[in-house]
């Protein structure tokens, strides 16, 4: 096989995958999410963090593809100061199965997050490491209108720089 | 409007003058000094509590002199840092994949030394001049008793390997707290255990009286034999009158090895135990 072939084929494959859906479904299938939550590490010697995130979703009936950016936040030692902390941010890609219930959607997703963790000791950054972590999440979404959806759920990130992180979260979604 | 403007300018100027006044002409920025020009004075203190204290002072070209005349003290700037640790150098550590656990461990074994002010505690027979630029840090005691101070530099050569072994912990057996002695008539027997070979011993005795009188006495012991006898009258002083609170400090000191990158240096570890008694005329 010629080495260059896969690079020539993958953009075409993407187009084939997405373009038909885009033109097939008349409903709004682009979504932007803003999310806030709490990051709870499995390592109990650290305090919870505040989580922020944004995501872009390509929605087709029953299955969504979501890409996002998440600040998992600052994890400080519970007996220490803010100067001793881990700052974790990441980008993620996720596939979501949408189950339509009575007036509410149940979204079950799984994906992978590419995270970067910066370690601070006495306020000095002493280390920075990249990691890849699988995660899963469950979300309940309620449409307020055709454009706006409120949602709440919980995500589980596995082994982010040595600790599992549970993220209860809520957010607002704009469809267009 | 103008009054506010001028007030701000005057306040800013005052702050600037104040900051400049913090260090006199005998202090230079570390960015202007090569590591090979630095004389390092590192002192580590343990008083048996859950903290070990480190003090550091850097001078240019020579050790700080007793009179401090002509000494040039070095102020750390431009990313130059002093790290106090229980042995391993922070620059050489492998943090592994579990950064959560690593940070927990690091908090117990590494600390960044910060510019400090003298608070009057635990610096007996110190070579550091506390009214000039100096740096302090504290850590939980190391089980092995090994301590290190590293100078990490933004541009010039690091000096990462100044290490010292803390003398072993010991207990004061006599006198007991709140015992009463006559400064002129009583022999004061000071006893401690265990003894240790290879350390230097010193005593420092500070007295402060109700009327504000203050005096101190110190002596160096030739070896650690577990006791020192102060003859009657040793603590007698024209500066002390009436009942005084007297603190007896017993200090074991061990020298370590300073990093050869420095022009010179001294790293020492001091194990200190104290007891407070009452002394009378």
Task: Write out residues 219-238 of B within 8 Å (CB-CB) of A.
Answer: none
Taking only the tens place, the pLDDT of each residue in A17-30 is 444 444 344 466 89
B99 with A77: Cβ contact below 8 A: no
Q: What is the mean pLDDT of chain A?
A: 86
Tokens of B277: 């008694």
Burial of B63 (0-12, 13-18, 19+ CB in 10 A): middle
B100 with A129: Cβ contact below 8 A: no
CA angle at B238 for the pair B236 and B240, rounded to the nearest 5°? 70
Measured between CB atoms, which of B98, B110, B111 is closest to A162? B98
Concatenated DSSP letters for A49-98?
EEEEEEEEEEEETTEEEEEEEEEEEEEEBTTS-TTSEEEEEEEEEEEEEE
Burial of A101 (0-12, 13-18, 19+ CB in 10 A): exposed
Distance CA B79, CA B31 (A): 9
B97/A contact by beta carbon, under 8 A: yes
Tokens of B3: 């009054």
Q: Which residue do the tokens 């953009």 mark?
A: A11
pLDDT band, very low/low/confident/very high, at B29 (cuts 50, 70, 90)? very high
pLDDT value of residue B120: 64
* Chain B residues whose beta carbon lies within 8 Å of the beta carbon of residue A47: none
Distance CA B74, CA B60 (A): 7
B281/A contact by beta carbon, under 8 A: no
Taking only the tens place, the pLDDT of each residue in A70-108 is 999 999 998 767 789 999 999 999 999 999 898 899 999
* Chain A residues whose beta carbon lies within 8 Å of the beta carbon of residue B101: 43, 162
Taking only the tens place, the pLDDT of each residue in B246-272 is 999 999 999 999 999 999 999 999 999
Q: Length of chain A in residues, anyone?
A: 176
Distances (CA, A) of B188 to A91, B214, B233, B252: 71, 19, 10, 19
Measured between CB atoms, which of A75, A80, A126 is closest to B90? A126
Residue B116 has pLDDT above 70, yes or no: yes
Helix (H) or strand (E) holding A157: strand A148-160
B102/A contact by beta carbon, under 8 A: yes
pLDDT value of residue B89: 86
Distance CA B24, CA B52 (A): 30
Q: Give SS3 for B35.
A: helix
Taking only the tens place, the pLDDT of each residue in B37-46 is 999 999 999 9
Q: Length of chain B in residues, anyone?
A: 281
* Chain B residues whose beta carbon lies within 8 Å of the beta carbon of residue A122: 111-112, 114
Residue A144 has pLDDT above 80, yes or no: yes
Q: Which of A74, A84, A127 should be substituted to probe chain B, the one whose Cβ sees the most B Cβ atoms within 10 Å?
A: A127
B67-101 residues labelled b (16+ CB within 10 A) or e (exposed): eeeebbbbbbeeebbbbbbbeebbeebebeeebbb
ipTM of the shown complex: 0.82
pLDDT band, very low/low/confident/very high, at A61 (cuts 50, 70, 90)? confident
Residue B23 has pLDDT above 80, yes or no: no
* Chain A residues whose beta carbon lies within 8 Å of the beta carbon of residue B100: 41, 43, 45-46, 75, 86, 161-163
Residue B18 has pLDDT above 60, yes or no: no
Residue B28 has pLDDT above 80, yes or no: yes
B81 with A117: Cβ contact below 8 A: no
Measured between CB atoms, which of A75, A77, A117 is closest to B107? A77
Q: Bridge partners of B46?
A: B52, B271
B120-138 residues labelled b (16+ CB within 10 A) or e (exposed): eebbbebebbbebbbbbbe
pLDDT value of residue B5: 38
B110 with A121: Cβ contact below 8 A: yes
- What does the pLDDT average to over B87-91? 85
């Amino acid at each position: 096989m010629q080495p260059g072939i896969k690079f020539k084929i993958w953009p075409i494959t993407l187009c084939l995958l997405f373009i038909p859906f885009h033109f097939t479904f008349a409903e709004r299938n682009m979504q932007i999410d803003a999310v806030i939550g709490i990051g709870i590490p499995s390592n109990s010697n650290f305090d919870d963090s505040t989580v922020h995130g944004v995501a872009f979703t390509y929605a087709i009936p029953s299955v969504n593809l979501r890409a996002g950016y998440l600040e998992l936040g600052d994890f400080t030692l519970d007996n220490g100061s803010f100067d001793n902390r881990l700052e974790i941010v990441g980008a993620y890609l996720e596939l979501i199965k949408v189950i339509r219930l009575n007036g509410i959607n149940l979204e079950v997703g799984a994906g992978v997050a590419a995270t970067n963790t910066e370690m601070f000791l006495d306020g000095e950054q002493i280390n920075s490491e990249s990691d890849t972590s699988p995660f899963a999440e469950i979300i309940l979404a309620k449409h307020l209108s055709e454009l706006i959806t409120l949602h709440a759920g919980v995500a589980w990130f596995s082994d982010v720089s040595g600790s599992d992180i549970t993220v209860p979260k809520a957010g607002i979604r704009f469809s267009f | 409007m103008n009054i506010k403007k001028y007030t701000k300018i005057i306040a800013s100027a005052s702050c600037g003058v104040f900051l400049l006044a913090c260090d006199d002409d005998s202090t230079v920025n570390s960015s202007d000094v090569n590591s090979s020009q630095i004389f390092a004075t590192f002192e580590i203190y343990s008083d048996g509590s859950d903290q070990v204290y480190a003090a550091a002072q850097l001078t240019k070209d020579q050790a700080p002199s007793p009179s401090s005349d002509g000494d040039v003290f070095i102020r750390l700037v431009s990313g130059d840092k002093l790290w106090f640790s229980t042995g391993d150098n922070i620059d050489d550590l492998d943090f592994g994949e579990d950064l959560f656990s690593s940070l927990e461990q690091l908090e117990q074994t590494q600390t960044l030394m910060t510019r400090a002010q003298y608070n009057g505690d635990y610096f007996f027979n110190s070579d550091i001049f506390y009214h000039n630029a100096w740096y302090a840090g504290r850590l939980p005691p190391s089980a092995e008793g090994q301590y290190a101070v590293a100078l990490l530099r933004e541009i010039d050569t690091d000096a990462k390997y100044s290490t010292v072994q803390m003398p072993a912990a010991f207990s004061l057996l006599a006198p007991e707290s709140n015992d009463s002695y006559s400064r002129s008539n009583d022999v004061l027997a000071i006893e401690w255990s265990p003894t240790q070979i290879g350390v230097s011993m010193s005593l420092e005795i500070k007295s402060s009286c109700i009327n504000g009188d203050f005096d101190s006495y110190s002596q160096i012991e030739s070896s650690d034999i577990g006791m020192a006898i102060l003859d009657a009258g040793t603590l007698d002083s024209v500066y002390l009158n009436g009942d005084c609170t007297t603190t007896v400090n017993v200090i074991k000191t061990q020298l370590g090895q300073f990093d050869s990158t420095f022009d010179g240096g001294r790293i020492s570890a001091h194990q200190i135990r104290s007891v407070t008694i009452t002394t009378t005329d």
